[in-house]
Amino acid sequence: MSTCQLCLVRGRATPEPSDGRLCHGCAMWISRTLDEIVTLASSAAAFLDPGATGRTSPGAPSFGSKPPLNLDAVEPELALIELAPGDPSSAVPILEMLEMWERVIRDERGFLPYGPASFARNAHGESTLTGTVRFLRAEVDWMSEDVDFDLESFADHVRRAAGILRRWDADRDRGGPRYRMPCPTITDDGECGNVLIVTSSADTYCRICRRTWEPAHLLAVAGRDVDIWLDSEAISAHLGIPVRTIQHWGKTGKIARRGMLYRLRDITDRRA
């Protein structure tokens, strides 16, 4: 059994045998975060004209008169990231950082040099950011196996780049609740019980039992035993119960209510 390098850096035990230097959870996290970088950069177009959408969420205000263009949203991949955290002199555009890693890998593996490869991708209509991220994502397995690759720095750059670009996440519910709950997977030794950090909009991976839970399934199972409070719209989306029915149950005391939130366990008990 080998030790996951990223788990080791974070001071946590590797939850599973690993063929290389990454456990399944960390490898999945790198791939998912690389994809997120492309998605977030694309989302920036929604913030280009702050008054166009009429939204009042952070980053996309509505103005009475036409505001100036949000120029940072024109090329979000050119936002600066410090290669060495805390050292402003090391700051480069996010795209340049990703291109740097592609160059390193291409040189190490004897692939076609970055310049000709990037030109060929662009000639087929693929953007530089999309092409670079697609290449890096395909090399995650190799990164895990090559002992000379600086996996820790790469993962740190990817994590911080996504964090910088999340300002352009038009779909993110910035006030959305997050919950801690024990993993309900049944193993040979009983219930897994590992503490999971859960949102209602993203899959949750358990590092102990190695199960990936879809939000609806996890909430439906764990909601029987764990105090989870959600708004009526989220409960309706997960369980298929009309919003008005949930609100009526709350008003009549059939389920517990806290302001606009309702206890999921009460609703699953009513359906049992």
C-alpha 31/C-alpha 162 separation (Å) is 12
- Structural domain including 254 reads 179-271
How far apart are the C-alpha atoms of 23 and 17, rounded to whole Å? 7
CA distances for 107 relative to 40, 89, 112, 115, angstroms: 28, 26, 8, 12
3-state secondary structure of 36: helix
pLDDT of residue 227 exceeding 80, the answer is no
Tell me what pLDDT residue 2 has: 62
* DSSP bridge partners of 80: 93
Distance in angstroms (rounded) separating the CA atoms of residues 157 and 222: 35
Examine the domain organization and report whether 68 and 144 are in the same domain.
yes
Asked if residues 172 and 166 have their Cβ atoms less than 8 Å apart, the reply is yes
Structure tokens at 198: 């859960």
Res. 206 pLDDT band, cuts 50 70 90 = confident
- Is the domain of 156 the same as that of 192? no
33 and 119: one domain?
A: yes
Domain end marker among 110, 141, 168: 168
Give residue 62's pLDDT.
Answer: 38
For residue 63, is it within any domain? yes
- Summarised one tens digit per residue, pLDDT across range 118-157 is 999 989 888 999 999 999 999 999 998 888 999 999 999 9
Q: In what order do the strands lie in the sheet with 261-263?
A: 229-231, 261-263, 257-258
- 151 and 190 co-located in one domain: no
Enter the tokens of residue 236. 């309706």
Q: 83-87, 89-93, 175-179: which has the highest mean pLDDT?
A: 89-93
Average pLDDT over residues 231-245: 78
What pLDDT score does 176 carry? 53
Among 149, 168, 187, residue at a domain's last position = 168
The residue-averaged pLDDT of 13-20 equals 60
How many whole angstroms separate alpha carbon 257 and alpha carbon 227? 12
Q: Is 173 among the domain residues?
A: no
* Together in a domain, 117 and 245: no
Q: Give 92's pLDDT tier (boundaries 50, 70, 90).
A: very high
Question: Between these two residues, 61 and 210, which has the higher pLDDT value?
Answer: 210
With pLDDT > 90 as the criterion, what percentage of the chain qualifies? 27
Note the pLDDT of residue 241: 84
Q: What is the model's pTM?
A: 0.58
My answer on whether 233 and 267 are in the same domain is yes
**pLDDT (mean) for 96-106:** 96
Task: Answer yes or no: is pLDDT of 193 > 60.
Answer: yes
| Nearest alpha carbon to residue 228 among 198, 195, 188 | 198
- Same domain for 224 and 147: no
> Are 127 and 194 in the same domain?
no
**Chosen domain end from 168, 189, 212:** 168
Contact in structure between 197 and 180 (CB atoms under 8 Å): yes
Task: Give tens-digit pLDDT for 155-187.
Answer: 999 999 988 887 766 555 444 556 677 787 888
197 and 146 share one domain: no
How many folded domains does the chain comprise?
2
Least confident of 37-46, 99-108, 123-132: 37-46
Do the beta carbons of residue 159 and residue 82 sit within 8 Å? no
Same domain, yes or no: 82 and 200: no
Q: Compute the distance between CA of residue 261 and CA of residue 256 in angstroms, rounded to an integer.
A: 9
Query: Residue 258 falls within a domain, yes or no?
Result: yes
pLDDT of residue 264: 79
Residues 98 and 185 reside in one and the same domain: no
Residues 142 and 229 in one domain: no
CA distance 221 to 32: 25
